[in-house]
Amino acid sequence: MSAPTMRIGKVLISEADIARRVAELGKTITEQYRGQPLVALAVLKGSFVFAADLLRSIDTPLAVEFIGLRSYIGGRTSTSGVVEITQDVKYPLGGHHVLVVEDIVDTGLTLDYLIKNLATRNPLSIKIAALLHKPARTLKPIPIDYLGFDIPDEFVVGYGLDYDGRYRNLPHIAVLEPNDGQMGLFHSR
Measured CA to CA, the distance from residue 119 to residue 131 in angstroms comes to: 22
Do 9 and 176 contact (CB within 8 A), yes or no?
Answer: yes
List 106, 112, 145, 180, catalytic entry? 106
With CB under 6 A as the contact rule, which of the stretches 10-18, 57-65, 68-76, 115-123 interacts with ligand PRP?
Answer: 68-76
Contact map string, positions 76 to 105, toward ligand PRP, x by CB under 6 A:
---x----------------------xxxx
- Interface with ligand PRP, residue 176, by CB under 6 A: no
107 belongs to the binding site for ligand PRP (CB under 6 A):
yes
Question: Has 164 been annotated as catalytic?
Answer: no
Residues 6 or more apart whose Cβ sits within 8 Å of residue 165:
none
Interface pick for ligand PRP out of 66, 72, 155, 167 (rule CB under 6 A)? 72
Please name the residues in contact with 99: beta carbons below 8 A apart, sequence gap of 6 or more: 29, 33, 38, 39, 40, 41, 62, 127, 128, 129, 146
Query: Considering beta carbons, is residue 45 or 96 the nearer one to ligand PRP?
Result: 45
